[in-house]
Amino acid sequence: MSLFDDDRPQKKTAHEIGSDLSLLSVDELAARIDLLRAEIDRLESEKTKKGASRSAAESLFR
């Protein structure tokens, strides 16, 4: 066992909607904002893919 915890794997930052933000540092808030922006991009990409699939299916059955 190491004297320092630096060798341990870092926990993946997660954000729970509505959680208390008062104990977070500015850097932690920025990290959460980046995390949420990346998740929004991922969701929008998936929405676009599903919209294209749906449009293709609707045009096939017309």
Q: What is the pLDDT of residues 2-53, one digit of tens each?
A: 566 667 776 667 888 999 999 999 999 999 999 999 999 999 999 999 988 8
Task: Provide the domain count of the chain.
Answer: 1
pLDDT of residue 32: 95
Identify residue 45 by its one-letter amino acid code: S
Element (H, E) at 14: none
The range of the structural domain enclosing residue 48 comes to: 24-62
pLDDT of residue 55: 78
The Cα angle at residue 31 between residues 30 and 34, in degrees rounded to 5: 85
Asked, for residue 3, whether it belongs to a domain, the answer is no
Asked, for residue 33, whether it belongs to a domain, the answer is yes
What one-character-per-residue DSSP string does 45-59 give?
HHHHHHHHHHHHHHH
Asked, for residue 16, whether it belongs to a domain, the answer is no
Q: 3: which DSSP letter?
A: S
Asked, for residue 37, whether it belongs to a domain, the answer is yes
Asked, for residue 56, whether it belongs to a domain, the answer is yes
